[in-house]
Amino acid sequence: MATEHDELKLELDANNLYREEMFTDQKIGSIRQLTPVKKDGSTDTARPVLYIGETSLMTPAGTLPIHFKLDAKDLAEAVERFSATAAQAIQETMEQLRELRRQAASSIVVPDMGKGGMGGLGGGGKIQMP
């Protein structure tokens, strides 16, 4: 008999591996440097190094993590572009949150009062005799 574990097959893509290093100022955020590697662990110079910026916003619901790609050729350039790119990512996140709030507000269902009050549970303001 097959189990869920047998059916769920999680395999890493051996052709898309990265070594991750983290750099932080311990105040505003951090930069993840993803260096491409071959499956033997050696650096893959055929693929570019990737830089991912990370920061967070405090919201009434708690901390909201913000992640964004930094288009940079090296760590120094990633640090230089962090502030502007973070500001843009935060702005885009705020716009997405406003849109989600708008969608949530427009999806409120109001009971149909013409069908007996609260969703057809009887009542409706008229006295009915059996």
Across the range 74-93, mean pLDDT stands at: 97
Across the range 23-46, mean pLDDT stands at: 97
Per the structure, the count of domains in the chain is: 1
Residue 126 lies in a domain: no
pLDDT of residue 105: 86
Residue 74 lies in a domain: yes
Residue 111 confidence (pLDDT) above 80: no
pLDDT of residue 101: 87
Closest CA to 66 of 98, 33, 35, 94: 94
Residue 7 lies in a domain: no
Range of the domain at 27: 14-101
Residue 2 lies in a domain: no
Can you give the pTM of this predicted structure?
0.71
Across the range 73-81, mean pLDDT stands at: 98
Across the range 12-18, mean pLDDT stands at: 95
pLDDT of residue 13: 94
Do 20 and 31 meet the contact criterion of CB atoms below 8 Å apart? no
Residue 46 lies in a domain: yes
